[in-house]
Amino acid sequence: MPTAREGLLDAAFTALRNRPWAGVRMVDVAAAAGVSRQTLYNEFGSKEGLAQALVRREVDGYLAGVERTLAGARRSGADAGGRLLALVAWTLRAARGNPLVRAALTGCWGPQLPAPARRVSARGGPPGVRRTGQDLAVESPAELVDEVRDRVLRALEEHLPGPPGERRRVCEAVTRLTLSYVVAPAARGEDVERTIRGLLTVSAPSRTVAGR
Summarised one tens digit per residue, pLDDT across range 30-79 is 999 999 999 999 999 999 999 999 999 999 999 999 999 999 998 999 88
The class level of CATH for 1-45 reads: mainly alpha
Least confident of 23-27, 115-119, 156-160: 156-160
pTM for the full predicted model = 0.83
Residues 168-194 have pLDDT tens digits of 888 888 889 889 989 888 777 677 777
Do 81 and 209 touch, CB atoms closer than 8 A? Answer: yes
Greatest alpha-carbon pair distance for the chain in Å reads 63
Question: Collapsing DSSP states into helix, strand and coil, what is residue 195?
Answer: helix
Q: Rounded to whole angstroms, how far apart are CA atoms 86 and 66? A: 9
Q: Where are the domains of the chain?
A: 1-45, 55-203
SS3 20: coil
